[in-house]
Amino acid sequence: FSLKETCCRTRPLSLAGHVGFDSLPDQLVNKSISQGFCFNILCIGETGIGKSTLMDTLFNTNFENFESSHFEPQVKLRAQTYDLQESNVRLRLTVVNTVGFGDQMNKQESYQPVVDYIDKQFESYLQEELKIKRSLHNYHDSRVHACLYFISPSGHSLKSLDLVTMKKLDSKVNIIPVIAKADTISKSELHKFKIKIMSELVSNGVQIYQFPLDDETVAKVNTTMNGHLPFAVVGSTEEVCVGNKMVKARQYPWGVVQVENEHHCDFVKLREMLICVNMEDLREQTHTRHYELYRRCKLEEMGFKDTDPECKPVSLQQTYEAKRQEFLAELQKREDEMRQIFVQRVKEKEAELKEAERELQGRFEQLKRVHAEQKSTLEDKKRLLDEDQSSFNKRRAAAQLLQAQSLTVNGKKDKDRKNSGFIITSGIPSTSSSVAPTTESDKPCESPSCQSLKTVSEKILCTSFMVFESVM
Ligand SMILES: Nc1nc2c(ncn2[C@@H]2O[C@H](COP(=O)(O)OP(=O)(O)OP(=O)(O)O)[C@@H](O)[C@H]2O)c(=O)[nH]1
Ligand SMILES: [Mg+2]
């Protein structure tokens, strides 16, 4: 038999006598009592609107309270956890307060830290659930079970910040709107204000928490209380003597506002609904509705599905395998793309390098040409220089020869002069004026070559004399 067939075959049977499983609810109660309970409240409201006072009044204690400044640059959330006990029931209560809500000039992002806080608590729970070794039985569940949204008692209408924030949160948390400091608004105005708020919430599609009607024992009271929303509350931990009793109240010169008097405000209604009647439903709604939605979205985001496109059920293993194949295909695709890009880049680089090589080759050829031209110019110059040098050498040899000849001639002449009484009057003998040619053979030749040769020889002679003199 398949499981389905087995289920279909179940049929009621009557018991012949007492078995004992009727004690199951008691077992559950005892187990819950021994485990203790956990409840988390988020208070959203402007700075100084009365959040802390209301919490103190609700739980009849003094929680740690810090007065917030109005100059916070951004909205923050402060969570404090307390262990409370009433009779034999232990309650781990976490009170989360907004700090600096609505104080910034730009209120657009005021809700974001609140949304992030709620999501973070869901995420922690999901991570715990997904662990291989889970320990949910002793896990400190920090998911927000109830959100008290404090509305300013303006008597006018909701602020856009209120509507935007509640709209952003209504799928994540059970919102219970309350009109704060309700003693500052008259009875008739309060009535109109409540109606206005509810109609604004409905017209803007904001889903607030509705007290459940499925449990017959509380359906009636819950129906009535749903009609009183939003609750107009007054908070005070101050005790004032009224009649012969001490009651929590706020005392004014003109009278006393009693917190627990239902004719004065809705504080008792709120306490009844929040703590006495619907605390477990708030916890359950958080788990089955809000957390479930978060979990579903998150798992879908991660690619997990219950059915395939043909609506056939898909197991976790199949989803994982499909996801793995998808991932590998994607990886392969990206690898191919990368390879193509790489090849393309290499081609581009090669073309670039070839272009650069061509340019360099061109420049090299040009330089080579310039170099060859310069070389041939230099060779021409060198040749000319060699020619000059050889002609100079020749001239120098001729001059040396002439010099030698003239020295010989002059030596002979000197001898002749000495013999003929020629007196050297100065260091350089005046060949033109002091010594006149005496014979025909002494006369200078008139041919041009002889003339130039004469000039050169004269110069050489003159120089030789100077050298000669300096040597002497
Ligand atoms: N008239 C009136 N005053 C209240 C009420 N509740 C609180 N207050 C006063 O409002 C002031 C601020 O109250 P808190 O409870 O500290 O306000 P809060 O919202 O916790 O302030 P922060 O934490 O600083 O943002 C105090 O002077 C309270 O006495 C109320 O119901 N009616
Ligand atoms: Mg406070």
**Is the C-beta atom of 264 inside 6 A of ligand 1?**
no
- Give the span between the Cα atoms of 466 and 472, in whole angstroms: 10
Contact call for residues 54 and 180 (beta carbons, < 8 A) = yes
Instruction: Label residue 399 exposed, middle or buried (CB < 10 Å: 0-12, 13-18, 19+).
Output: middle
The sheet carrying 37-44 orders its strands as 76-86, 89-99, 37-44, 146-151, 175-179, 231-232
pLDDT of residue 428: 44
Neighbouring C-beta atoms of residue 322, cutoff 10 Å: 14
**Is the C-beta atom of 181 inside 6 A of ligand 1?**
yes
What residues in the chain have per-residue pLDDT under 50? 1, 422-442, 444, 471-472
Q: Which residue, by CA, sits nearest to atom 12 of ligand 1?
A: 48
Q: 3-state DSSP call for residue 359?
A: helix
Q: Which of 126, 443, 140 lies closest to 296, judged by CA?
A: 126
Q: Which ligand is nearest to the CA of 180?
A: 1
pLDDT of residue 332: 96
**Is the C-beta atom of 103 inside 6 A of ligand 1?**
no
**Is the C-beta atom of 234 inside 6 A of ligand 1?**
yes
Q: Angle, nearest 10°, between helix axes 316-420 and 448-471? A: 90
Q: 3-state DSSP call for residue 84?
A: strand
pLDDT of residue 424: 46
88: which residues sit within 8 A by CB, 6+ positions away? 33
399 alpha carbon – ligand 1 mean position (Å): 129
Q: Tell me the CA distances in angstroms from 254 to 38, 233, 245, one per residue in order.
A: 42, 19, 19
Q: Which ligand is nearest to the CA of 44?
A: 1
Q: Tell me the CA distances in angstroms from 256 to 51, 134, 252, 456, one per residue in order.
A: 21, 53, 6, 145
Q: Which of 30, 291, 301, 298 lies closest to 142, judged by CA?
A: 291
Q: Which residue, by CA, sits nearest to atom 13 of ligand 1?
A: 50
242: which residues sit within 8 A by CB, 6+ positions away? 249, 256, 258
Q: Which of 214, 204, 129 lies closest to 169, judged by CA?
A: 204
Ligand 1 atom closest to Cα of residue 65? 23
182 alpha carbon – ligand 2 mean position (Å): 17
**Is the C-beta atom of 47 inside 6 A of ligand 1?**
yes
97 alpha carbon – ligand 2 mean position (Å): 7
Ligand 1 atom closest to Cα of residue 66? 23
- Give the span between the Cα atoms of 271 and 59, in whole angstroms: 9
- Give the span between the Cα atoms of 182 and 370, in whole angstroms: 101
**Residue 126 identity:** L
Contact call for residues 145 and 174 (beta carbons, < 8 A) = yes
